Amino acid sequence: MTAVKLAVSAGEDQRDLRDIIAETGRKAREAARGLALASSDAKNGALITMAAMLRNFSHAILEANVLDVEAAKLAGRPSAFVDRLTLNPGRVDAMACGLEEIAALPDPVGAVMDHWTRPNGLHIERVRVPLGVVGMIFESRPNVLADAGGLCLKSGNAVILRGGSDGLNSCRAIHNALVSGLRQAGLPEEAIQLVDSPDREAVGMMLAGLGGTIDVIVPRGGRSLVARVQEEARVPVFAHLDGINHVFVHAAANLDIASNVVVNSKMRRTGVCGAAEALLVDEACAPTHLAPLVKGLIEAGCEVRGDANARAADPRVIPAREEDWGTEFLDAVIAVKTVAGLDEAMAHIGRYGSQHTDCILTEDAGAAERFLREVDSAIVLHNASTQFADGGEFGMGAEIGIATGRFHARGPVGVEQLTTFKYRVHGSGQTRPV
């Protein structure tokens, strides 16, 4: 068993926890060395077997999940929380399918990203290698364990996973299935380790980097978790704090396209980080476009908080307050504002956005080009829904998250973004002149 078993009584000696978690880090580092050199076949075989084991162990996983769900209900957790925690046969199968899809992706490790020959004959290659050890801190969704375990394995990284205490029984059962897959494929079981403790001290130790054994932290969960991780982590973090995404309907927007894209950007799913949170409408097209756009949103079930123009366009619009600009509603609510044109739209996005995903709707190629060039967000879209902000939709396969930082990984974080590179240089005895 590679899950870290811990006594968690109130009087427990913290030293025990510290020792055990530090040991987890050392084992992960050791596993990462082996995994970095594992063949694509071995890794893909493990992923396929892990998927089979999830299906084989489906009954045990669902039984364990019932314990978590009942405890969460007893503890009065909100229904959205209980829903995220709940597994069913379809969700377990979806986890297994996810692992099979990851197995089908090209192996990023060893890929030659670039190569060139110098005038002195040195041949230089830039080759992808794994990052090392990933620390994943997540909240209630137990499926994150399977997704993150699979993505890290594929990219040759060991992973240390620490889920929310509400899902501990579910996570143990899923982890058990993943480890069976690793074992059967002959890969190190410590490649995917679960920190099996509700003690928050464990998170603090992970954020400190576990004495140099964690290379990057990926948080998955609500804003407060991500904020804590960004504030306290002493190692790099792949994360986004907010997805305050804008759709700007430019003067030259096609109304049919705008109507579809605006509703899809906001309402396809309101709880995802790629959902639009604000609609900016160019005053030049507001007389024709604003009323139908607002109507479309309201009829799709969205609350619209708007400026005076939006309220004039539809009496159902609620007055927007200053704090509505720059709010990530993550709900069927949108803020709507008319702007004086492209420059005001971009200034608004620069002031209130979160550099995640922003979109312009226009038939004017020049305006689109300026928007895509000047808006400083990880993803900038022209005439397409913000809900495409997703590694799968980008063609990267699954994603471990979306990053709004500027370093290393930006936008969807898939298997390639979980690698770094090294330079391999072949010579024939070259020395460097003085």
Q: Given the rule CB under 8 A, which residues bind its own copies?
A: 36-37, 110, 116, 118, 122, 124, 129, 131-132, 215-216, 236, 254, 256-257, 260-261, 263-265, 268-269, 368, 372-374, 376-385, 387-388, 390, 393-395, 406-408, 410-411, 420-432, 434
Residue 134 Cβ vs its own copies, minimum distance, rounded to whole Å? 11
Residue 336 Cβ vs its own copies, minimum distance, rounded to whole Å? 19
86-95 long-range Cβ contacts below 8 angstroms, 24+ apart: 87/61, 87/62, 87/142, 87/143, 87/170, 88/62, 89/58, 89/62, 91/143, 92/54, 92/55, 92/58, 92/61, 92/62, 93/55, 93/58, 94/143, 95/51, 95/54, 95/143, 95/146, 95/147, 95/174
Of the candidates 422, 328, 396, the one whose C-alpha atom is nearest the C-alpha of residue 124 is 422
Residue 215 Cβ vs its own copies, minimum distance, rounded to whole Å? 6
The residue (of 200 and 406) whose beta carbon lies closer to its own copies is: 406
The residue (of 64 and 262) whose beta carbon lies closer to its own copies is: 262
The residue (of 58 and 377) whose beta carbon lies closer to its own copies is: 377
The residue (of 235 and 318) whose beta carbon lies closer to its own copies is: 235
CA dihedral 394, 402, 3, 75 (to 10 degrees): -120
Contacts of 119 (CB under 8 A, 6+ apart): none
- CA 282 vs CA 206, 257, 292, 325, 374: distances in Å: 47, 15, 14, 16, 17
Residue 43 Cβ vs its own copies, minimum distance, rounded to whole Å? 16
Residue 146 Cβ vs its own copies, minimum distance, rounded to whole Å? 23
Residue 425 Cβ vs its own copies, minimum distance, rounded to whole Å? 4
The residue (of 244 and 379) whose beta carbon lies closer to its own copies is: 379
Residue 295 Cβ vs its own copies, minimum distance, rounded to whole Å? 18
The residue (of 62 and 400) whose beta carbon lies closer to its own copies is: 400
Of the candidates 284, 302, 295, the one whose C-alpha atom is nearest the C-alpha of residue 248 is 284
The residue (of 175 and 348) whose beta carbon lies closer to its own copies is: 348
Count Cβ atoms within 10 A of the Cβ of residue 429 and give its class: 0-12 exposed, 13-18 middle, 19 or more buried: exposed
